[in-house]
């Protein structure tokens, strides 16, 4: 089962592929001109120690964009159709199918002195003009003239042959590397320069020719490296076109898309052996493919007794801590199987399996301990603990917030035909799990843990579900609460957060929004828009008045009271019409 989430995308200096630096009408002209220019494929590969997983795609994109930008700035024609950043944990690469072997002729214009300064009364050159001509390396009589707003002046136009691309590539590579976003470069040996990780080899080919270049004390050649364990020998790269196939033969998948597809195929194949479906999120898949060069799935299992723990906790620790893929049954329930991705085809896969199972067991044991202890404590005891937790200095404790939300939820429930007692009960228990050991260990389970604890305590199914749904939508694109009670609780929670935040002077700024007021406002608007007929203007004004009471902030009280009376009158009129 693929769980789609929005993936982070990296912006480039200008629109890309395949001819993003050109205007639309110039694309066909550019294609034809490229066919007439002598072009050869270009390969740049920088080999390093294992690069940071989360930064790897961004580093590869930055190197790719830096090379493209440097070529474009120097007027070197290139064909990048189908080109993209290539990378593995141990290398960053740029592969372009065609790059011109030399620059076009370089035209330059240098403005000189004005005529009244350049020539004396007899029309003879002054020192200013002679110096300008000498600097240009020509006789002053061959200079041309041009006119601007200030008058006529001398000008030197020059046409020089373009430089060979092989001569420019060393500075292009250094420029691209210098522009990469590396906040904390690592230094190694006694060298003064730094990079994300120590560099070990450099491949730089234009066609079949090795470009004479050196970066980080490493001279370029055509020898790449294969898989650290499966292919210890160097890998000969004859031409850039051979690069991907040569590395594949050396047990390295240099193309991240190919590597990503291989991971999915391996995981799905392993899950099929036990009749399950793998849970594959985009975030987990992206990180796993950045960890391996030759992915191999290993099917593993854990003790079934751990399935008594909320599956969200087990899934969270598998994905976030170990980068494993959980296996679900046909009903979407977690099974005792999971899949790890190794970076090696082991001769004894059982040993790899034992290692994966050994590292997951202590984490599951901790989760089970937290869950069992929380069940012994109970929601009522957790609720009492909220009295000692400060929500915000001007707005009191979390327990105070719970009471405000409960009153709001009860008021909204009456308006929309939901049992007000259920609404109050759900609101009173909604924050209790913040005191639990489970949420302390897995903060992303707030609300989810509360649902399990409420069900275990004998609360109604509606109340238990609403405790979880109060946090929905949790992120952009997430669904809103599905039940009417959950919608009431979600709205009441956000109304109180917004009213209290603004009353306490916590208005969001450009880079500060500690109470996530923007996100709460968006969640409130989306819930009301999707759920329909939920008019909470009266409750919002009540919340503002209540918040002002809490923070002793009264300048707008008279205006708010008048607006509340007006809104109540309008609500009654609308009700009579219905």
Predicted pLDDT of residue 529: 83
> What count of residues does the chain have?
578
pLDDT of 550: 60
* DSSP code, position 266: H
Which positions of the chain have pLDDT values less than 50? 3-23, 27, 29-30, 32-33, 552-557, 560-561, 564, 567-568, 570-578
For the chain, the C-alpha Rg in angstroms (whole number) is 33
The confidence score (pLDDT) of residue 480 equals: 92
- At residue 421, the pLDDT reads 95
All residues at 6 or more sequence positions from 36 whose CB lies less than 8 Å from its CB, including other chains: none
**Phi first, then psi: what are they for 82, rounded to 5°?**
85, -10
The three-state (H, E, C) secondary structure of 276-340, written as one string: CEECEEHHHHHHHHCCCCCCEEEEEECCHHHHHCCHHHHHHHHHHHHCCEEEECCCCCEEEEEEE
Q: What is the pLDDT of residue 44?
A: 97
Diameter over CA atoms, the chain: 109
Give the global pTM: 0.79
Backbone φ, ψ for residue 161 (5° rounding): -60, 145
CA–CA gap between residue 293 and residue 314 (Å, rounded): 27
CA distances from residue 570 to 299, 413, 574, 575 in whole angstroms, order as listed: 63, 19, 6, 9
Cα separations (Å) of 332 from 275, 327, 467, 510?
12, 9, 21, 41
- Within 8 A by CB and 6+ apart from 394, the residues are 503, 504, 505, 550, 551
């Amino acid at each position: 089962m693929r769980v789609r989430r929005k993936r982070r995308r990296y912006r480039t200096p200008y629109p890309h592929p395949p001819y993003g630096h050109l205007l639309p009408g110039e694309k066909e002209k550019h294609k034809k001109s490229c066919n007439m220019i002598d072009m050869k494929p270009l390969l740049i590969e920088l080999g390093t120690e294992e690069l940071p997983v989360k930064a790897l795609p961004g580093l590869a994109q930055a190197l790719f964009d830096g090379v493209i930008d440097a070529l474009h700035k120097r007027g070197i024609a290139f064909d990048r159709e189908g080109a993209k950043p290539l990378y593995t944990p141990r290398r960053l690469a740029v592969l372009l199918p065609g790059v011109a072997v030399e620059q076009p002729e370089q035209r330059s214009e240098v403005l000189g002195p004005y005529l009244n300064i350049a020539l004396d009364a007899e029309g003879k050159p002054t020192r200013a003009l002679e110096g300008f001509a000498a600097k240009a390396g020509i006789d002053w009589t061959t200079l041309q003239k041009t006119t601007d707003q200030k008058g006529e002046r001398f000008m030197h136009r020059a046409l020089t042959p373009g430089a060979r691309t092989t001569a420019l590539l060393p500075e292009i590579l250094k420029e691209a590397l210098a522009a990469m976003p590396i906040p904390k470069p690592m230094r190694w040996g006694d060298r003064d320069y730094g990079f994300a990780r120590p560099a070990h080899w450099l491949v730089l080919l234009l066609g079949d020719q090795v470009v004479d270049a050196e970066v980080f004390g490493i001279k370029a050649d055509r020898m790449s490296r294969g898989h650290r364990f499966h292919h210890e020998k160097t890998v000969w790269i004859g031409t850039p076109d051979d690069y991907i196939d040569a590395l594949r033969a050396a047990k390295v998948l240099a193309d991240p898309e190919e590597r990503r597809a291989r991971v999915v195929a391996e995981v799905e194949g392993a899950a099929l052996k036990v009749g399950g479906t793998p849970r594959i999120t985009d975030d987990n898949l992206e990180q796993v493919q950045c960890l391996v060069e030759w992915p191999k799935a290993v099917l593993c299992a854990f003790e079934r007794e751990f399935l008594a723990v909320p599956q969200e906790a087990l899934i969270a620790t598998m994905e976030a801590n170990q980068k494993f893929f959980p296996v679900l049954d046909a009903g979407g329930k977690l099974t005792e199987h999971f899949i790890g991705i190794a970076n090696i085809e082991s001769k004894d896969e059982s040993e790899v399996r034992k290692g994966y199972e050994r590292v997951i067991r202590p984490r599951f044991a901790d989760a089970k301990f937290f869950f069992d202890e929380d069940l012994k404590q109970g929601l009522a005891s957790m609720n009492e603990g909220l009295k000692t937790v400060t929500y915000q200095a001007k707005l009191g404790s979390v327990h105070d917030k719970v009471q405000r939300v409960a009153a709001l939820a009860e008021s909204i429930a009456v308006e929309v035909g939901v049992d007000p007692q259920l609404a109050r009960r759900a609101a009173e228990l909604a924050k209790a799990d913040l005191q639990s050991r489970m949420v302390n260990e897995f903060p992303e389970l707030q609300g989810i843990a509360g649902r399990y604890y409420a069900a275990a305590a004998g609360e109604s199914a509606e109340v238990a579900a609403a405790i979880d749904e109060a946090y929905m939508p949790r992120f952009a694109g997430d669904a809103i609460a599905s039940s009417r009670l959950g919608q009431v609780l979600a709205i009441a929670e956000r109304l109180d957060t917004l009213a209290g935040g603004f009353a306490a002077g916590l208005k969001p700024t450009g880079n500060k929004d500690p109470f996530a007021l923007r996100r709460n406002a968006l969640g409130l608007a989306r819930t009301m828009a999707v759920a329909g007929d939920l008019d909470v203007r009266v409750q919002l004004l009540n919340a503002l008045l209540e918040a002002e009471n809490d923070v002793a902030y009264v300048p707008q009280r008279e205006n708010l009271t008048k607006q509340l009376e007006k809104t109540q009158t309008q609500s009654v009129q609308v009700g009579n019409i219905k």
